[in-house]
Structure 1
Amino acid sequence: MHRFGVWAPKAEKVSLNWRNQTLPMNSPNSRGWWILDVAEAGCGDRYAFLLDDDPTCYPDPRGLRQPEGVHGPSELYDHSHFKWHDQLWRGSPKIGSVIYELHIGTYSTAGTFDGAIEHLQHLVDLGITHVEVMPVAAWAGKQGWGYDSVGLFATHEPYGGPDGFKRFVDACHAKGISVILDVVYNHFGPSGNYAIKFGPYLNTNRKTPWGDAVNLDEEGSDEVRRFFVDNALMWLKDYHCDGLRFDAVHAFLDLSAVHFMEQLSIEVERLSATLARDFHLIAESDLNDPRVVRSREANGYGMDSQWNDDFHHSLFALLYSPKEGEGGYYDDFGSIRDLHKSLKHAYVFDGQYSGYRKRRHGRPADGLSAHHFIHFDQNHDQVGNRAKGERLEHLIGLDAAKVALGLLLTAPFIPMLFMGEEWSTSAPFLYFANHEDEELRRQVAEGRQREFAAFGFDGDIPNPEEDETYEKSKLKWEEQSEGKHQEMLTWVKSLIKLRRSRVCFNDGDMHHLEVSSNEENQTLVMQRDEARVLINFGAKPQQFALLEGEVRELASRESIEERDNQLILPPMTLAVLLSSSEEVENRQVAQRPK
């Protein structure tokens, strides 16, 4: 026996297509749900729905499996059939996270969940606590970033389908790694979005960069919100994920008294209490609004943390000089002062005028722990949205890339690495897609060319729709033992090991952080109790006075001199110095007013 159900509030009649039969469904209830019990139906059966007099068979918007792709019929799938081995798993602590963002299709040669499992020991050896997996919900075509998902309850079949993802999560837990899944609730992809045939999932009166906004507050929005919340709970409950990263929450256009993010946090908290497991909710937000991560009790939305673009932009603009016309939002950044503020106050723009936006932007994040903010020196967007997918080291060189990672991994915020940067992989991360519709393929390729022609690129832009573009983006694991790749890997392992071994590097109290900088000399100093991080971003050597009892622990370059109680840092160099707790206390006592 299986109960088929679908929400189609505007339909006059709905039929089930099952085993070559067309079965009329019962009249809808007051909420617009059509139901039909079929005694002989079972796991593995394929089915679809017909609406009114439309002869097309449409897949279930809540279908758990799409074995023939998002345009084909749905397949009944039973979550209880998978045998898990993580019964004792409770997850890695959120506030001590070292996150690693990865894309399943390019993380391994195979481009599958099982292929990714083969490289999990590398993450253990590196010191990673959480993997943040780019979207795996089903989309049209084979390869893609995952942000064009349309079958939100199904797992992308070319990756290995639902059982494949469960094997991946199970294997991560066996290695002591938590899994955060990237989910997209702000839009549907351009191909295969059949949900809109069934109900008002979109609000045609409001627009986002992807088209019509998701309907979160108008007629029918209760069921639309239920659709997305149930999807979030499914990944946590049935796939054993340890958290979710919500894509572009600034595109949640919601005027409800209870914001959609607040509803998500409430219902995830209930599931957490029921399963006795902690979940990590991460928002991608460019609002610079601390309400996103404030608790609901403090009139916030209850997300645990957010991606903080301001740190990335201030660091990137300091290290790299964009070509004319390439700046965009980087035009708002570029000084040591910006980086200083992003370290001390999280947001650079917390109420100031933004030249890029042509308006004031943000509000202060006062009183929040640094653990509410996830910092990165690169991610899939910042790399893949470049014309040729260049990674940070490709643009600024090894010395500067080591400094960037050194700052990232010694700052008080939750650090996130983007796959392959730990060994400065030579592989780019390009924008790629695999749309089946020829007209859509042409539009995507031509649009990409036009976009970067405006930035002065010469037209040699990889075609996103070509298989070669996808293949070029796969990591080259064999590089790790070679030259600069080995040097960078050793450096990152040392930094993460240091972060794990010292309490001061995991202290999120911003009052315990002291930052000083010098715009003229291009230097920055970060004091974290017994640790002091010195950085010379400039083109000339710079001197830093050594404090009594300080010992150099790590340095991004070997050519550092100590002379007359001075540490001389070469250009583009970072050094970490350590003192004992007693020496720090003695200095603090000596600095007190008499």
Structure 2
Amino acid sequence: MGATPLEAGSRVSFKVWAPHCTRMSLIIEPFANPRRVEMNCDDDMIFTTILEGVPLGCRYMYLIKGIHRRPDPVSRWQPDGVHGPSAIVDPSAYMWGDAGWYGLTMKELIIYELHVGTFTQEGTFMAVIPLLSYLHEELGVTAIELMPVAEFPGRRGWGYDGVSLYAPHSGYGGPNGLKALVDACHRNGMAVVLDVVYNHLGPEGNYLRDFGPYFTDRYKTPWGEAINYDGQGSIGVRRYIIDNALYWITEYHIDAFRLDAIHGIFDESPVHILQELNNAVQAQAKRLGRTVLIIAESDLNDARAATAVGEGGYGLAGQWNEDFHHAVHARLTGERNGYYMDFGALDDVAHALSHGFVYEGQYSMFRGRPHGASARHIPGESFVVFAQNHDQVGNRPKGERLVTLIPFEAVKLAAALVLWSPYVPLLFMGEEYGEPAPFQYFTSFFDKTLAEAVRQGRMEGFARVAWTGEVPDPQDPATFERSRLNLELRTEPVHRQLLDFYRELIRLRKIHTCLGIVERKRQIVSTLAGNGTLCLHRTLPQREESFVVFHFGGESRKTIIPIPWGPWITVLDSAAKEWGGPGGYMSSGEALESSGMLELAASPYQVLGLLRDPAVSAEQPDKSAERIA
């Protein structure tokens, strides 16, 4: 679909599915007097025409009913925004330099989520490229996750109000900018995860309903009309969404998708759209000789997303685990409003580490009903966890980051929980050096009525969950400017210490299997009643063994910790002065002999990481099975 150059020169095919139209014209706009061409319609309600003498970059629109000019639903570029004409792009013109790149598996992912508009002062795809060596070589992440980049109204927005799903945002640099960024990531050994929104489209500039039955009133979403995946005419809608995913991985070499809020995707078809989407993506990935992953976001604790098709699921590679975040956040901040009322106990953190979801069908006070289902059959690499992300920061009234809500030592504890969890870790831009700037919700709608409705809706939403105080105006440019990162801070002393701590957590995770993704049956998570301490013990068949102590208390206290016998080596103590702490319990590399108990004078929010001494364990018989038993 769309405008596709057929060969070298200026011969272009135009094709659009439009069952709501009885006739359609193509308007070409490079001339003082626009050129108008009537299009032919086939039995599938696909209007087509092929034109000679149409140069690349040429603007065009479709004329519906002889009255309404509309951009192409499959526009590759909207250089003048959501209301303007589409532009012709040659998908084969970009010269890729990523030959030999095949993608990453879930186990290899350490994700860094960023918003292109606020990550740098320039706010463009190209401006991200010089920072890739920092992210990959210095910090150690292996993938960037881009918040949605499909064209949205104006220059300021999160991207979840996108309406031209095939057009990389013109304000970020358009098609060539995105291709250059993906290409540079691959050449730096990094994957690119693209956040896509298949549960709704934005309200402004959304012209799809003029073309076909893209929406339905059978279901409701909090963000607008639900997409028609199972009603009359839905076959073309399903193709539109599936083709979109294939387009990103084929023309832009995207490695993975994060599907936004799949609880807003409604489909009663015999084969769910998520399963059909994954089937199509995996078939195309095989043809391309690459690994492509689909990761879902849902607040339902529905294990079907990452459950195999043969076991009744959709077969996706992974899903976000919101319960992990809520358990950690509620415990460290003490917040209990909104969904945090269901969390706060240390056992919630332990349950998330042990089993994935905290809520597996038990009663939720926030929802007033049982919530969730067991995900214990889902392997650890199928869960993505985080202490911060765009939602959990930006959907607070003032967009405060964790570093402004909890003590510095607690920030380090949260980082260790994420990066040493048995799951795929995700960091939110700036958290690695303690960025103090908020990340607030911002928009740049042209429709003033819509802008006011969004303002009121956010204030009412916060009031319902008992959040009080002034809510920044999303339309105010200052709200956007406040949300920009100041990456220069990472060189200042305290920020540098936190950055070094994150880097060390990642380095240790990469070189020690027992500090990363392991089978959950090979770990024991225990809490010490009354003193706020959680212990994570892992034993692998290769004689790798780790024991990590997380002290959640805000005060120092002596703690007696049961620990397996024998020699251990300290690999990290968050209280060490090199990480900005009050002074460590043991130096890195220092040996410890355990007789079954560890007496620890724990400092506030201390994390102590121990590994079995490899020199000694090599002389011992492999007792991993006994210890796990």
Smaller-chain TM-score bracket: over 0.9
Query: Which of the numbers 18, 38, 46 marks the counterpart of 1:24?
Result: 38
Instruction: Tell me how far 1:560 sits from its aligned partner.
Output: 4.0
Residue in 2 aligned with 1:541? 557
Alignment of 1:583-594 (within 5 A): 583=617
Residue in 2 aligned with 1:550? 568
The structure-2 alpha-carbon separation of the partners of 1:379 and 1:585, relative to structure 1 and needing over 3 Å to count, comes to: farther
Alignment of 1:376-525 (within 5 A): 376-452=386-462, 459-525=469-535
Residue in 1 aligned with 2:547? 532
Query: Which of the numbers 33, 36, 41 marks the counterpart of 2:49?
Result: 36
Residue pair 1:293, 1:302 contacting (<8 A) in 2 also: yes
SS at match of 2:36: strand
Q: Which amino acid aligns with 1:83?
A: M
Residue in 2 aligned with 1:336? 346
Residue pair 1:336, 1:519 contacting (<8 A) in 2 also: no
Query: Which of the numbers 115, 127, 130 marks the counterpart of 1:115?
Result: 127
Instruction: Tell me how far 1:93 sits from its aligned partner.
Output: 3.1
Q: Which amino acid aligns with 2:113?
A: E
The structure-2 alpha-carbon separation of the partners of 1:42 and 1:513, relative to structure 1 and needing over 3 Å to count, comes to: same
- CA distance in 2 between counterparts of 1:463 and 1:128 reads 33
Residue in 1 aligned with 2:108? 96
Instruction: Tell me how far 1:4 sits from its aligned partner.
Output: 1.2
- How many residues were matched structurally? 588
The structure-2 alpha-carbon separation of the partners of 1:585 and 1:420, relative to structure 1 and needing over 3 Å to count, comes to: farther
Residue in 1 aligned with 2:362? 352
Residue in 1 aligned with 2:608? 575
Q: Which amino acid aligns with 1:419?
A: M
- CA distance in 2 between counterparts of 1:346 and 1:565 reads 28
Instruction: Tell me how far 1:288 sits from its aligned partner.
Output: 1.5
The structure-2 alpha-carbon separation of the partners of 1:590 and 1:85, relative to structure 1 and needing over 3 Å to count, comes to: closer
Instruction: Tell me how far 1:298 sits from its aligned partner.
Output: 2.9
- CA distance in 2 between counterparts of 1:459 and 1:504 reads 44
Instruction: Tell me how far 1:454 sits from its aligned partner.
Output: 5.5
- CA distance in 1 between counterparts of 2:551 and 2:623 reads 24
- CA distance in 1 between counterparts of 2:120 and 2:93 reads 27
Residue pair 1:560, 1:568 contacting (<8 A) in 2 also: no
Residue pair 2:22, 2:65 contacting (<8 A) in 1 also: yes
Residue in 2 aligned with 1:284? 297
- CA distance in 2 between counterparts of 1:473 and 1:117 reads 20
The structure-2 alpha-carbon separation of the partners of 1:222 and 1:514, relative to structure 1 and needing over 3 Å to count, comes to: same
Residue pair 2:556, 2:601 contacting (<8 A) in 1 also: no
- CA distance in 1 between counterparts of 2:626 and 2:145 reads 45
Q: Which moved more, 1:579-588 or 1:258-267?
A: 579-588
Gaps of 5+ in 1: none
Residue pair 2:424, 2:517 contacting (<8 A) in 1 also: no
Deviation track 1:79-131 (CA, whole Å, cap 9, x = no partner) reads: 10011111111123321211110110011110001111121111011111111
The structure-2 alpha-carbon separation of the partners of 1:75 and 1:113, relative to structure 1 and needing over 3 Å to count, comes to: same
The structure-2 alpha-carbon separation of the partners of 1:542 and 1:292, relative to structure 1 and needing over 3 Å to count, comes to: farther
Instruction: Tell me how far 1:174 sits from its aligned partner.
Output: 1.3
Alignment of 1:76-155 (within 5 A): 76-124=88-136, 125-155=138-168
Instruction: Tell me how far 1:295 sits from its aligned partner.
Output: 2.2
Instruction: Tell me how far 1:586 sits from its aligned partner.
Output: 6.2
The structure-2 alpha-carbon separation of the partners of 1:156 and 1:589, relative to structure 1 and needing over 3 Å to count, comes to: closer
SS at match of 1:80: coil
Instruction: Tell me how far 1:3 sits from its aligned partner.
Output: 1.8
Residue pair 1:90, 1:277 contacting (<8 A) in 2 also: yes
1:48 aligns with 2:61: yes
Residue pair 2:558, 2:599 contacting (<8 A) in 1 also: no
The structure-2 alpha-carbon separation of the partners of 1:201 and 1:148, relative to structure 1 and needing over 3 Å to count, comes to: same
- CA distance in 1 between counterparts of 2:327 and 2:348 reads 6
Alignment of 1:5-20 (within 5 A): 5-19=15-29, 20=34
- CA distance in 2 between counterparts of 1:279 and 1:267 reads 11
SS at match of 1:282: strand
Q: Which amino acid aligns with 2:549?
A: L
Deviation track 1:272-302 (CA, whole Å, cap 9, x = no partner) reads: 1101000111101122122210222333201
Q: Which moved more, 1:17-26 or 1:125-134?
A: 17-26
TM-score of the aligned structures, taking structure 1 as reference length: 0.95
The structure-2 alpha-carbon separation of the partners of 1:447 and 1:206, relative to structure 1 and needing over 3 Å to count, comes to: closer
Deviation track 1:201-254 (CA, whole Å, cap 9, x = no partner) reads: 001121111132100001111110100110101111100111111100111100
Residue pair 1:205, 1:212 contacting (<8 A) in 2 also: no
Instruction: Tell me how far 1:387 sits from its aligned partner.
Output: 1.0
- CA distance in 1 between counterparts of 2:365 and 2:19 reads 46
1:170 aligns with 2:183: yes
Residue in 2 aligned with 1:369? 379
SS at match of 1:57: strand
- CA distance in 2 between counterparts of 1:506 and 1:395 reads 27
Instruction: Tell me how far 1:268 sits from its aligned partner.
Output: 0.7
Instruction: Tell me how far 1:56 sits from its aligned partner.
Output: 2.1
Q: Which moved more, 1:380-389 or 1:360-369?
A: 360-369
Instruction: Tell me how far 1:591 sits from its aligned partner.
Output: 5.9
Query: Which of the numbers 599, 606, 617 marks the counterpart of 1:566?
Result: 599
Instruction: Tell me how far 1:460 sits from its aligned partner.
Output: 3.2
Query: Which of the numbers 258, 261, 267 marks the counterpart of 1:248?
Result: 261
Alignment of 1:136-215 (within 5 A): 136-215=149-228
Deviation track 1:504-543 (CA, whole Å, cap 9, x = no partner) reads: 2234311111100134211100012211110111234142
SS at match of 1:149: coil
SS at match of 1:533: strand
The structure-2 alpha-carbon separation of the partners of 1:57 and 1:511, relative to structure 1 and needing over 3 Å to count, comes to: same
SS at match of 1:257: coil
Residue in 2 aligned with 1:233? 246
Residue in 1 aligned with 2:6? none
Residue pair 2:106, 2:382 contacting (<8 A) in 1 also: no
- CA distance in 1 between counterparts of 2:517 and 2:22 reads 59
Residue pair 2:338, 2:465 contacting (<8 A) in 1 also: no
Q: Which amino acid aligns with 2:606?
A: T
- CA distance in 1 between counterparts of 2:148 and 2:385 reads 20
Residue pair 1:48, 1:59 contacting (<8 A) in 2 also: yes
Residue in 1 aligned with 2:13? 3
Gaps of 5+ in 2: 1-10, 540-544, 577-582, 587-591
- CA distance in 2 between counterparts of 1:168 and 1:216 reads 32
- CA distance in 1 between counterparts of 2:429 and 2:157 reads 16
